[in-house]
Amino acid sequence: MLVRSSNTERGAIKVDAQIQDALVLREHTEVRATVVRAGGDVKPTIELRIEPEDRIVHFVASREDAASLGKHLYRVIDAVVEIERDEDLTPMRGRIHTWQLVEMTLTAEQQVERFLDWVTSPSNEAKLNS
């Protein structure tokens, strides 16, 4: 098994690449998504439909996040996630680091401003840097 780790830039996305039998890209990014399913006692999992890719991706999450997101099925969230993509850049699976519910009554500018405030808050920066 050959393993190589490298950091490269693809547009505005920082990519950590690991080569095994096939290329797997790990991307740390912010996404807007709709909660499709949340639950699991042994392995808490959340399924999100990621915009604008319109694909459902399975995410590992804490029990607390799975329980909280289960209360918001079919609602839109902004989340900081780690996504694994295959060689065609199709999202396969991931891990949720932090999330917040999107209040759809806000204008697009207000949503962007609130999201940027949330991403740069000290509590989220600690989670992102861990």
Spell out the alpha helix ranges (H) of 1-62.
Answer: none
Q: pLDDT by residue (tens digit) across 63-78?
A: 998 999 999 999 999 9
Domains of the chain, earliest start first: 29-85+94-123 (2.40.50.140)
Q: How many CA atoms lie within 13 A of 24 on its CB side?
A: 16
Say which residues have a Cβ less than 8 Å from residue 78's Cβ, sequence separation at least 6: 30, 31, 32, 99, 100, 102, 115, 118
pTM of the full predicted structure? 0.61
Confidence category of residue 2, pLDDT binned at 50, 70, 90? very low
**Whole-number Å distance between alpha carbons of 130 and 125:** 9
The dihedral built from the CA positions of residue 101, 121, 8 and 3, taken in this order, carries a sign that is: negative
